Structure 1
């Protein structure tokens, strides 16, 4: 299994590393911000003083242009006075402050120097190498020159002396300070600390990355079958302690007659078939499913619940394997697969016990003819045993109006439309669960509660017929037909509403026990006389007295699902169904095939020219009368 703990640690270290980088970056930004604030504050203070000095000497000395400024500072008394004033701003951080005058040759000259050391003489030349000195004359705005000193703030402030809107000269103040060095010394340990943390995190991440790389590099060899590139049995040992079986169904897959392929074509052909089959397996499942080569030609498949019906996945695999052509060195090799399916492995003690049961189902599939799926569904068996409902369950449902009908369409494939619907009884349990008749009808058969339930069903169907104006079939037993109350209900509704009678079909079980054939004929004739149609349900499951069927002049024969469900595989069922359809056609009856659960069965029935079809492939029973656009939803979803 993937080492999720290592992934978590790696991710945690990555987050920590990014956090430390973020903090370190903010420290650097904060340091720069402090530098800038110090610089701005110092320059603003100095500029304020220089502006005050300029106002003083221009006013007191009555200076109106640059020449008068030059002449004023030629006088030693004036120069001394303003050197002393400017020297007041001199501190440990400001060592040089002077006024520069640009002569007629654009050369800069000292005309006043308030510096304490290296003092320049009057009109001494000042060499300029930077264009910013000249730019001040055109922009008339202060300029800051930053020197390239990494540790210290070292700048020159060029402040224009503006007289009558012209730049007469420049104040030049050199500022240097060690405050940045102090800040740097304070922050440096913190910066170093985070740098060390980042390096440690990166080293740990590198170590874990190497472990993960080594894991994935060896995983293929340890847990993967080299031939089929699927997981091998070693993977199961790692899987069994972490897998949640509640999320999976388990299927065992075995290629049929694989030994014969090896014996006839050689082991290389066998390997070729295994590779091709494993590709089909992988193409038929989802990323959440787990495929393991269990041994030889046997594969284990854990089907995640998110992949849809486990049976659908198995059927897709079976059909995909058998529908492909396999050629090896010019030889065509036939291939099929047998599958054993355990739908609820979580009911077992552990994974290995669940695999044993799936393997037993695989054995049954092999024994029962191969190329088939055998299902073990202990949960359904348990639920079936525990789900039988007694008479009181039905009585409460009738009293609380929780009896309803679901409707399954009967399809006219020739016209591509719904011919009619079959009403199927359901009970909504107190907890909201929809309960099928298999859970309660056997327990009430022959009781008065059965007749009461039939009465309610008839009322629901008649109301639905009036509301929808559709054709609907309703199931009824021979015992129902001879019940006086039920007969009265049927006569009352159909005699008063001929349109209702023409829309209803009564489906009578052919397998039902009919002791009095003549009475049976009388009751079906009564239905005909009222304008209703009669269908013989589950035809082929009972004794099939053909003369009785002909005498009662049924409108439809509904072929029993046990003959239909395997018609695409079982030639005997196919022949029986063909005979029934022929018999019905010769007797002026139409045929309905139920249990149409797949396209293969559908196509076979089209081939046999059955009249109508019904089954989950077309549509499951639903609470409403669906439209033809809603048919074949399961096909559309694929």
Structure 2
């Protein structure tokens, strides 16, 4: 985005105030290790998006103007650093949470309301800020953690209120998880478990969902245990490829259909689509036996890449399912555009539909909608005979849950 290092800009007065990350480390190393310092780490988002619309000069000029105004409002004796292409930090001269948060809010208001600042361009830019206080050895990791959390909240400003000792303990656990997941991937210990899906018309198990599990000695870890950390480490695709490969091996000698969960990282990856095609040819499995299950955290919006890749899979013969329908992925128009084959009704409604009238009505409404657009429904979290009776009463085509069968390391067809 914007790149500047003080040593390289002696002829450019604009960047005279902006230090690089080596200078930040130099400043910190000059302090006593037990000195407490305060840092505001912030990121200018969205500028990169404008490069596809405006000339680089206009986009860079916008970034430069923003940084120039920030420099003008810096607190006394504060130092301003660029530590990567889009991340900047301010090292305050004193430790005062109230003043640090006040500055973060001023910074956000300044960038959001740029129309009142005549010297700033009109390109929309978002700023995310993380404020951290700690001793020198902890302050940079704490600031990055604060920035990470700020991206998840509406205000885009987060103060990491945790002492250094507790933060070090969190770091230790993160490192342990990193090692565990990395070794599990390397050793082939992230494998699919298979949960049966029951056809309510034929009264038979006809499909299985392939669910990721991490085997750690005698423990079987579920995705909510390890997946967030794997995502932060960038291992999502490795996990998906492993599940695909093992699932094909499990179903090569039978006639069951099977579903594979796909994340946002996966559906954006054209290599994943090629890998699915290669596996179908390698194992001689018809793509129409395979359901690509789009997970609830995929941000579809109007993203043509995601929609186009889904349609490519459809053209290849794969079936498409939307997982946990009823919460995040409930845009009816988008479902039609994606030409989906299955709606998996969110288990949070299914499991309570025998005791909660509103849940029942929601499930009924989703079922009627699906029938009107010729899409099949799968009820998740069918955990009891009474829930299964209501599922069949509503005409839902398929059932999945503990009443039907738990996920196991081998496909089984015993009805619970």
Indicate if the aligned counterparts of 1:389 and 1:440 stay in contact, CA closer than 8 A: no
1:471 aligns with 2:257: yes
Shift of 1:387: 11
Residue 192 of structure 2: aligned partner: 405
| Matches of 1:402 and 1:541, distance apart in 2 | 32
1:424 aligns with 2:222: no
| Matches of 1:623 and 1:494, distance apart in 2 | 22
| Matches of 1:458 and 1:532, distance apart in 2 | 14
Indicate if the aligned counterparts of 1:391 and 1:449 stay in contact, CA closer than 8 A: no
More displaced 10-residue stretch of structure 1: 514-523 or 547-556: 514-523
1:440 aligns with 2:226: yes
Residue 555 of structure 1: aligned partner: 341
Residue 415 of structure 2: aligned partner: 631
Shift of 1:516: 4.2
1:573 aligns with 2:362: no
Indicate if the aligned counterparts of 2:264 and 2:299 stay in contact, CA closer than 8 A: yes
Shift of 1:588: 1.0
Residue 522 of structure 1: aligned partner: 308
| Matches of 2:297 and 2:354, distance apart in 1 | 24
Residue 319 of structure 2: aligned partner: 533
Shift of 1:498: 6.4
Residue 25 of structure 1: aligned partner: none
SS at match of 1:397: helix
Shift of 1:448: 2.5
Deviations 1:228-278 (A, max 9, x none): xxxxxxxxxxxxxxxxxxxxxxxxxxxxxxxxxxxxxxxxxxxxxxxxxxx
Shift of 1:497: 6.2
1:598 aligns with 2:384: yes
Residue 318 of structure 1: aligned partner: none
More displaced 10-residue stretch of structure 1: 498-507 or 565-574: 498-507
| Matches of 1:581 and 1:531, distance apart in 2 | 25
The TM-score, its normalising length taken from structure 2, stands at 0.56
| Matches of 2:251 and 2:183, distance apart in 1 | 26
SS at match of 2:185: helix
More displaced 10-residue stretch of structure 1: 594-603 or 465-474: 465-474
Match of 1:393 among 166, 170, 180: 180
Give runs of aligned pairs for residues 94-173 of structure 1, distance below 5 A.
none
| Matches of 2:263 and 2:220, distance apart in 1 | 23
Residue 362 of structure 1: aligned partner: none
Match of 2:290 among 504, 520, 523: 504
| Matches of 1:558 and 1:412, distance apart in 2 | 14
Deviations 1:451-501 (A, max 9, x none): 111111111112222133321111111221112432331232235666331
| Matches of 1:591 and 1:543, distance apart in 2 | 15
The TM-score, its normalising length taken from structure 1, stands at 0.37
Stretches of structure 2 lacking an aligned partner (at least 5 in a row): 1-172
Shift of 1:407: 0.6
Distance change >3 Å, CA 503–CA 387, structure 1 → 2: farther
Q: Which has the higher contact order (CA 8 A, sep 6+)?
A: 2
Give runs of aligned pairs for residues 274-289 of structure 1, distance below 5 A.
none
Shift of 1:389: 6.8
Residue 614 of structure 1: aligned partner: 400
RMSD: 2.1
Indicate if the aligned counterparts of 2:191 and 2:243 stay in contact, CA closer than 8 A: yes
Match of 1:487 among 273, 276, 279: 273
Indicate if the aligned counterparts of 2:345 and 2:379 stay in contact, CA closer than 8 A: yes
Shift of 1:511: 4.1
Stretches of structure 1 lacking an aligned partner (at least 5 in a row): 1-385, 633-638
Indicate if the aligned counterparts of 1:411 and 1:420 stay in contact, CA closer than 8 A: yes
Deviations 1:162-199 (A, max 9, x none): xxxxxxxxxxxxxxxxxxxxxxxxxxxxxxxxxxxxxx
When Rg is computed on C-alpha atoms for both structures, the one with the higher figure is 1
Distance change >3 Å, CA 410–CA 582, structure 1 → 2: same
Indicate if the aligned counterparts of 2:236 and 2:265 stay in contact, CA closer than 8 A: no
Deviations 1:126-149 (A, max 9, x none): xxxxxxxxxxxxxxxxxxxxxxxx
Indicate if the aligned counterparts of 1:498 and 1:531 stay in contact, CA closer than 8 A: no
| Matches of 2:282 and 2:218, distance apart in 1 | 36
Indicate if the aligned counterparts of 1:465 and 1:503 stay in contact, CA closer than 8 A: no
Residue 201 of structure 2: aligned partner: 414
